[in-house]
Amino acid sequence: MIITKISKDSTSDCNMGGAADSSTRLAKELSDLSFRAKAHWGYSAELMESWRNDLTIGPEYFETHQVFTSYIDKQLVAYYAYCKLEACTVLLDNIFVEPAFIGKGIGKALLDHLKTQVKSTENNLIRLYSEPHAKAFYSKFGFVLVGEKATSVKNRFLPIMELTLK
């Protein structure tokens, strides 16, 4: 498995129409992966459709977030993205694994990679808003519940979790 950092420079591709086309293409690939991975949890088609905008990444995302993709045999299988939230804190904004690869250690590898990336900066706290089905996964890697965030769906809350790095 290869984990690659995406930057606005690395989304340029002279042979495929330039930076704008390349970043648009990658944004669509990541959006599609996000949608498939979220659907893995068995949500209704109606609910999934209501989240389409939340799961859609635009080309500008690469300018505001640190984005890392994971490939196996040249196939995109996962990605994560984070951004600066506040002093010493980053927000793990997205982490999605292709459903066929869930349970094969890719999520752990991405979290380990994230920790290494964050440790190399002045930041020492990772915050995330967890998919409720993934709360146990994050807990297994040291994230602790610090609150809940209401969503647009009545009576649905996202666990707010944090990990302090040493």
Instruction: Report the CATH number that the domain containing residue 102 is assigned in CATH.
Output: 3.40.630.30
Q: How many domains does the chain have?
A: 1
pLDDT of residue 1: 84
Give the residue with greater pLDDT, 2 vs 118: 118
DSSP 165: -
Residues 60-105 pLDDT 10s: 999 999 999 999 999 999 999 999 999 999 999 999 999 999 999 9
Residues 116-131 pLDDT 10s: 999 999 999 999 999 9
Residues 10-57 pLDDT 10s: 443 433 444 557 889 999 999 999 999 999 999 999 999 999 999 999
pLDDT of residue 14: 34
Asked if the model's pLDDT at residue 140 lies above 80, the reply is yes
pLDDT of residue 21: 75
- Give the structural domain span for 142: 2-164
pLDDT of residue 13: 40
Q: Please give the Cα distance from 61 to 81 (Å, whole number).
A: 9
Q: Return the structure tokens found at 55.
A: 């799961």
Residue 8 binned pLDDT confidence (cut-offs 50, 70, 90)? low
Q: Please give the Cα distance from 11 to 57 (Å, whole number).
A: 14
DSSP letters along 35-87, please? Answer: HHHHHTT---HHHHHHTTTTT---TTHHHHSEEEEEEETTEEEEEEEEEEEET
pLDDT of residue 10: 46
Report helix, strand or coil for 124: coil
Q: Please give the Cα distance from 109 to 105 (Å, whole number).
A: 6
